């Protein structure tokens, strides 16, 4: 992914018993990616999503399109 360490966090809206994803937005500006991983498997793989695509995804969720 990158040599910079992702700072992982889970949304404050994620109170559903651990069925969450974690993201690391600290890499969006310097590297243009938003890593995403399963909160139950923090040692597992992470997806690297382009920051523009992640932003469009969040906008779609908020608007009800997705």
Give 10-51 pLDDT, tens digit per residue: 877 777 666 788 999 999 999 999 999 998 898 999 999 999
Closest by CA to 52, choosing from 22, 35, 23, 28, is 28
- Cβ–Cβ under 8 Å, residues 50 and 33: yes
Which long-range contacts (C-beta less than 8 Å, at least 24 apart) are formed by 44-50? 46/1, 46/6, 48/1
15 domain-assigned: yes
3-state DSSP helix/strand/coil % of the chain, to nearest 5: 30, 25, 45
Question: Is the pLDDT assigned to residue 1 strictly greater than 60?
Answer: no
12 domain-assigned: yes
Distance linking the first and last C-alpha atoms of the chain: 27
Q: pTM for the whole thing?
A: 0.80
65 domain-assigned: no
Report pLDDT for 19. 74
Domain count for the chain, please give it. Answer: 1
45 domain-assigned: yes
64 domain-assigned: no
5 domain-assigned: yes
66 domain-assigned: no
Structural domain boundaries, residue 31: 1-58
């Amino acid at each position: 992914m990158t040599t910079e360490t992702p700072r992982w966090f889970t949304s404050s809206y994620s109170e559903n018993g651990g069925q969450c994803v974690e993201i690391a937005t600290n890499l969006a500006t310097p590297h243009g990616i938003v890593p995403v991983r399963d909160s139950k498997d923090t040692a597992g793989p992470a997806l690297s999503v382009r920051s523009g695509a992640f932003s469009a995804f969040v906008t779609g969720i908020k608007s009800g399109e997705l």
